[in-house]
Amino acid sequence: MSIIKFEITEDHLKLLPHLKFNSKGEHITTQNSDGLSAFGDDDIFESIGLIIYGKPKVGDDFDIMNNLGLTYTEEEQEYMANLLNDIPQVLDIVLKSPNFKPETGLYKRKFHDTIWKKIG
């Protein structure tokens, strides 16, 4: 019997309330009708970065040619890309966990089952 495990982090939970959906005919997408990203800006890294890292602090490096002037390291961009890739799994856990409460932790389910359970 195979077990699937996934850990929900604080940053996953920070992103969920900002997620936007749009219905385009028969499909639901995470891009709105203006072509903006799932989190409301045309630059997905700026949107996620503001949610995760907050507003820039005095002394942070800015790139004036960018939309908001924010720059992120390759590691930060990779981390944000991984968070974005995790969103479908996080939504699956939220929607298929009995009595889900927004908590960080480790969740599991049997491969053939759809119900997730918090285990840590």
pLDDT in tens, 28-69: 555 555 556 677 667 778 888 889 988 665 555 555 455 555
Q: How confident is the model at residue 5 (pLDDT cuts 50, 70, 90)?
A: very high
**Percentages (nearest 5) of helix, strand, coil residues in the chain:** 35, 20, 50
List of E strands, the chain: 3-8, 22-24, 27-29, 105-110, 117-118
pLDDT in tens, 55-111: 665 555 555 455 555 678 899 989 999 998 999 999 999 999 988 888 999 999 998
Residue 17 has pLDDT above 70, yes or no: yes
- Give the domain ranges of the chain: 10-97
In this structure, what token pair is assigned to residue 35? 């072509």
In this structure, what token pair is assigned to residue 13? 């939970």
